[in-house]
Amino acid sequence: MEFHQLEYFLAVAKYRSFTKAAEEINVSQSSLSIQIGKLESEFGVRLFERTTRSLFLTTVGKEFLPFAERIMEDSKKAKVMIEQFISADKGNILIGAFPGSQYFGFIELVSQFKKFFPDIHFDIYEAECAGLVSALKALEIDVAFLSHFHETEGIHFYPLYEDRLVLVVNKDHPLASRNSVILEELTDEALVFNVETTLYTNVIETFNRLGLCPNIVLRTHGHLSSTLGFVSSGFGATMISSKVAKYYAYRELAFLDIQPTIPRATYLAVPTTHEKRPIINNFVKFVLHNLKPKDSRANLSI
């Protein structure tokens, strides 16, 4: 049994006519009849009953019809799947992104890529970085924008942006009139953080490295706007990326540099096995070309 024989069988079953079926699939009626005959000989049964005036499926033919339809449908899906591994301009890319990645222009970047490759489609999954790394390791997503680097076998990390954290306080806060603050000054300051983020991890690691203990009075588990809402109300201070800060400058907030600097970097992470796919390779090259990472770690490879 061959795929073209199934195609011929389905065409004849659809039109109940060898003549119309032959026209539909653009083959001669004699070739169509020969292939249907070969299929019936292979099965040892008749799939069609033929009379001088009509043609219809036999009982076996009716039973075989849904199997033939399913085989052809599965073959089409398999072809689409294979094309994603050999095509550079069509297919689907599963992208993971950390919350807040929109502030770094990653959404616009995907939109720009879509204009160059209109036949490529996307699924976007937003999650914290730990979840995204797990999804990359399980090959559940193709690429991910991360705000944290952790050495992981089988994943290539491309640095994108180098940034730093800034302190955020209410405009009525005693520190609001200053341009910067020393980290040691914040040990008694009431702090508010979303403890599920890598930003929180960065802050705690920095405090610990300096032998300091932060005074965290509120631990949130939601969106950044909620954390900043508490800060705006005077509940406490927090820290965010300087690149994100400009999007919240309209609020009743003040932003201060922190000494020593707490670095904050973003990365594009890709499983090394997926980088071989032309469609993924194109996306990685597009991202790196448009963001032009300047840091020396741009060649960091795991």
- For residue 11, the domain's CATH number is 1.10.10.10
pTM comes to 0.65
Q: Say what the pLDDT of residue 299 is.
A: 33
Looking at residue 210, which CATH number applies to its domain? Answer: 3.40.190.290
Burial of 101 per CB tally in 10 Å (0-12, 13-18, 19+): buried
The answer to whether the CB of 245 falls within 8 A of the CB of 156 is no
**b/e map of 185-203 (b: 16 or more CB within 10 Å)?**
ebeebbbbbbebbbbbbbb
User: In this structure, are 281 and 211 located in the same domain?
Assistant: no
User: In this structure, are 137 and 180 located in the same domain?
Assistant: no
CA nearest neighbour of 212 among 184, 189, 193, 236: 184
Q: What is the tally of structural domains in the chain?
A: 3
Q: Say what the pLDDT of residue 300 is.
A: 30
Distance CA(138)–CA(193), nearest Å, equals 30
Amino acid at 163: D
Q: Say what the pLDDT of residue 76 is.
A: 79
Could you tell me if residue 125 is left (phi over 0), alpha (psi between -120 and 50 degrees) or otherwise beta? beta
User: In this structure, are 55 and 187 located in the same domain?
Assistant: no
User: In this structure, are 141 and 48 located in the same domain?
Assistant: no
pLDDT along the chain (302 residues), means of 10: 87 90 88 90 90 87 91 79 64 91 89 91 92 92 90 91 94 95 95 92 94 95 88 94 87 92 93 87 91 44 26
User: In this structure, are 141 and 190 located in the same domain?
Assistant: no
- Residue 204 Cα to chain centre, angstroms: 29
User: In this structure, are 286 and 243 located in the same domain?
Assistant: no
From 55, 84, 113, give the residue that closes a domain. 84
Supply the range of the domain harboring residue 75.
Answer: 3-84
